Amino acid sequence: MLDTRENHSLTDFLMNHNAYVARLKETHAPEVLTVDGRAEVVVQDAASYQSMVDRLHHMETIAAIREGMESAERGELKPAAQVLDEMRARYGLSR
């Protein structure tokens, strides 16, 4: 969870970026950077960012599968042949 109470100025980050990068790599926790006292930017280490993106992709995939299963349960499926014909027509593909 992002702790917006622990804010750091962008100026301080720029002046002390080596210390910030080291801390980000060690803690794996994102930090909020402020401009004129307002939260403007969030920074985090690359490995943590990639992990977050991977988890988000996984969750979106699960949600799409659930949506498809619910659609199937409601009887909203089309026969595969019909879907293929529609795709051929839409994209100008031949048989």
pLDDT value, residue 95: 76
**Residues 46-90 pLDDT 10s:** 999 999 999 999 999 999 999 999 999 999 999 999 999 999 999
Tell whether pTM > 0.85: no
In this prediction, residue 4 has a pLDDT band, given cuts at 50, 70 and 90, of: low
Q: Which residue has the higher pLDDT, 7 or 50?
A: 50
Determine the Cα–Cα distance for residues 34 and 50; give it in Å rounded to an integer. 23
Close Cβ partners of 23 (under 8 Å, ≥ 6 residues apart)? 31
The radius of gyration of the chain from alpha carbons, rounded to an integer in Å, stands at 23
Identify the CA nearest to 10 among candidates 30, 37, 29, 28.
37
Determine the Cα–Cα distance for residues 35 and 10; give it in Å rounded to an integer. 6
